[in-house]
A and B are shown apart, each in its own frame.
Chain A
Amino acid sequence: MDRRDFIKYCGIATVGLAVGKAGRILAADKLLEESPLTASRWAMVFDLRKCLHKDGCTKCIDACHTVHNVPKIDIPGDEVKWIWKEPFDHAFEEQQNEHLPEELLHAPSLVLCNHCDNPPCVRVCPTQATWKRASDGIVMMDWHRCIGCRYCIVGCPYGSRSFNWHDPRKYLTTIQPDFPTRTKGVVEKCTFCSERLDRGLLPACVVDCPEKALTFGDLQDVHSEVRELLASNFTIRRKPSLGTQPQVYYIV
């Protein structure tokens, strides 16, 4: 290849790159056609009473784990979970009143990342691979920056974070192409479906619940559905005494 050819190829390559880039920008614009959902403070209200109607229903869990490529690993202790059911007396250890109604005591309560206002996981992360998004309070994660030290798992009082002890891709039967898969050795958790909110969609668990037990909305908006539920029901949160200010509320 002489110099002339080299310059020519460089030129062709540049044009090619530019076309590719333009295509991607246009594609991104198309995605943004549906206007994104925004809020000053996202929060979730979970109505345990409604959930109890459907014994053994796992629709919300399935929906979440499918769209997010969460691997199904059945080895005890090695599971990756974004949202799952935990017996009431485990999810709310400090609420152990004696003689609670039997159905409530062992009621399968949905647990997920609480997207705390004051998240200990964010405080302890040594690489800022997890952070609270200033715009709407979602606790985000960067799976490319995470070094896998698991300090966030140690710091989380809710057991909401999962570590990829295994290569997660080996445990995926189908892969959703529009959401990244993860590698072994990084931590992951619920993201309040930040990627769906960007596309104007509510979180997958909220959409797929047949009982409409999950409500998602802006806590700062006085007229939002979540605020109405909080104003008209007695709600509890997990371990409020720790000062983390969880943003998942439970109607019991």
Chain B
Amino acid sequence: MLEKALSGDRKYWSWLFALCGVIFIGFLFWMYQYRNGLEVTGMSRDVAWGFYIAQFTFLVGVAASAVMVVLPYYLHNYKAFGKITILGEFLAISAVLMCMLFIFVDMGQPFRIMNVFLYPSPRSMMFWDTVALGGYLVLNVLISRVSLAAERKGVAPAKWIKPIIILSIPWAISIHTVTAFLYSGLAARPFWMTAVLAPRFLASAFASGPSLLILLSLIIRKVSKYDVGKEPIQKLAIIVTYAMTINVFFILMEIFTAAYSNIPEHLAHFTYLYFGLDGKTALVPWMWVSAILAVLTLILLINPKTRHNEKILVWACAAVFVSIWIDKGMGMVVTGFVPSPLGKVFEYFPTITEIGIALGIYAIGFLLVTVFYKIALSVRKSIA
């Protein structure tokens, strides 16, 4: 089936080559990091996790969000998602692989990573996150492969795949829940130690992931003849609307609890995030952009007139994606460390190396999405 990815027009190949260029540059940056160690990053003894782990967290959300098309399609037999479900599954596979790469590049001793399996430690949430992500990858590869192969032959997928698809639904929820548990179980970090973290992660995931899926579907409609149709896009838009509303609601809950209880160690993080602390304000402009975008998207999405207009919907989806990316991919992780448990306000700025490596990994993700979508669309076209 992979051979389907090898025939494409000029635009397809130039896009792939461009991505390969970015991947190559990212790889060079990684070689530099591997040689010199993590000293080439902006992380420190105070801010021990940075851009990589934040991207990992954000992308786990994108991966989990596939459940928002899988669940209606398979559990509720919602036929309109027939054309988009495979896109969601392939997006999930690419996102999980990016997650794994982000973990890998964050390790101080990356080639010892197998120690996680050699010395399994069930008391560590990181162990469970590895299990959850690995399992999710296997499930999605299996499901998309079996259903696409069956489609190609023009037969119904084998019966045994159905329970596996059903299993993938709670599994998707689990990957983001366990990822939240990485943070929310730490007494050392009051900013993360909140029961609403996992629900908030899921809400933001179900807003950002389907937004990306809408954008991808619209891009596919432009560059190929494959049109998922108007109905699934509108349905996804409603999912994005609800999820984004719940996400903003959860953020407000967090702010209320911290502000009204007025416990310094909880409040200090939010003060840093939105107003700055000790004159350190690196994240403040970003967080306000995120907040303003969140409000704007809610206006555009809740109002049916603007939501039904695909031209406006595109912008709303892009804004949802950016807003949540700032919140999760920049603010959430770093702010857990500012101030530090010793009350220090030490700011973190990613270095060019970190950004270069991150762009390289995102390029790998885009490359995978492109190739997977190419295969899926070719199979669909040949049977049409």
Real binding pair: yes
Residues of A within 8 A of B346 (CB): 76-77
Q: Which of B2-10, B14-22, B38-46, B200-208 contacts A (4 or more CB under 8 A)?
A: B38-46
A155-B186 contact, Cβ under 8 Å, with A127-B121, A163-B38: yes
A139 at the B interface (CB under 8 A): no
Q: How far is the CA of A243 from the CA of B185 in the complex (A)?
A: 13
Determine whether the beta carbon of B108 is less than 8 Å from that of A154.
Answer: no
A245 contacts chain B at the CB level, 8 A cutoff: no
Mark the stretch among B160-168, B230-238, B336-344 that contacts chain A: B336-344
Q: State how many angstroms separate the Cβ of A180 from the closest Cβ of chain B.
A: 15
B188 touching A154, Cβ below 8 Å:
yes
Contact partners of B379 in chain A: CB under 8 A = none
Whether, in the assembled complex, A221 has its beta carbon less than 8 Å from a beta carbon of chain B, the answer is no
What are 13 inter-chain pairs, A to B, with CB distance below 8 A? A120-B188, A123-B124, A126-B124, A126-B127, A145-B119, A147-B107, A148-B108, A150-B48, A157-B187, A159-B45, A165-B38, A184-B38, A244-B187
Chain B residues in the interface with A (C-beta under 8 A): 37-39, 41, 43-49, 103, 106-110, 112-113, 115-116, 118-119, 121, 123-127, 130, 182, 186-189, 265, 336-337, 340-344, 346
The verdict on A162 contacting chain B, using a C-beta distance below 8 Å, is yes
Contact status A123-B44, CB under 8 Å: no
- By secondary structure, the B interface counts as loop
| Cβ distance B172 to chain A, nearest Cβ, rounded Å | 22
In the complex, are the beta carbons of B48 and A154 less than 8 A apart?
Answer: yes
Q: How far is the CA of A165 from the CA of B37 in the complex (A)?
A: 6
Given contacts A124-B126, A185-B109, contact A93 B342 (CB under 8 A): yes
CB neighbors of B among A54-71 (8 A): none
Cβ contact of A154, chosen from B41, B49, B110, B112, cutoff 8 A: B49
Q: Judging by beta carbons under 8 Å apart, are B343 and A93 in contact?
A: yes
Which A-B residue pairs are the 6 nearest by beta carbons? A148-B108, A185-B108, A77-B44, A184-B37, A157-B188, A126-B126
Contact B265 A93 (CB under 8 A): yes
Q: Which chain A residue has the least Cβ–Cβ distance from B344?
A: A90
Q: How many A-B residue pairs have CB under 8 A?
A: 141
Chain A interface, DSSP helix/strand/loop, else mixed: loop
Contact pick for A127, options B45, B49, B116, B342, CB 8 Å: B116
Whether B113 lies near A147 (C-beta < 8 A) is yes
Chain B residues near A128 (CB-CB < 8 A): 119, 121
Residue A110 is within 8 A (CB to CB) of chain B in the complex:
no
Please give the number of chain A residues whose Cβ is less than 8 angstroms from any Cβ of chain B in the complex.
Answer: 47
Query: Do A242 and B37 have beta carbons less than 8 Å apart?
Result: no
Q: Find out whether the CB atom of B124 lies under 8 angstroms from the CB atom of A151.
A: yes
Interface residues of A in 121-168 (CB under 8 A from B): 123-129, 145-151, 153-159, 162-167
Q: Which residues of B contact A211 (CB under 8 A)?
A: none
Kindly list 8 other residue pairs between chains A and B, CB separation below 8 angstroms, not including A127-B119, A163-B45, A185-B37: A77-B45, A120-B186, A125-B124, A126-B126, A147-B109, A147-B112, A148-B112, A154-B188
Q: Mark A75-86, 1 if CB is under 8 A from B, else 0.
A: 011110100001
Q: Which residue of B lies closest to A157 (CB)?
A: B188
**A165 with B39: CB separation less than 8 A:** yes
> Looking at B48, B107, B336, which has the most chain A CB atoms within 10 Å of its CB?
B48
- Known A128-B121, A165-B44, A184-B39; judge A159-B340 contact (CB<8 A): yes
Tell me, in angstroms, the Cα distance from A151 to B185 when the chains sit together.
12
A91 at the interface (CB under 8 A from B): yes
> Does A91 contact B188, Cβ atoms closer than 8 Å?
no
Bound CA span A77–B347, Å: 10
Find B107's partner among A77, A93, A149, A154 (CB 8 Å cutoff): A149
Is the CB–CB distance between A150 and B108 below 8 Å?
Answer: yes
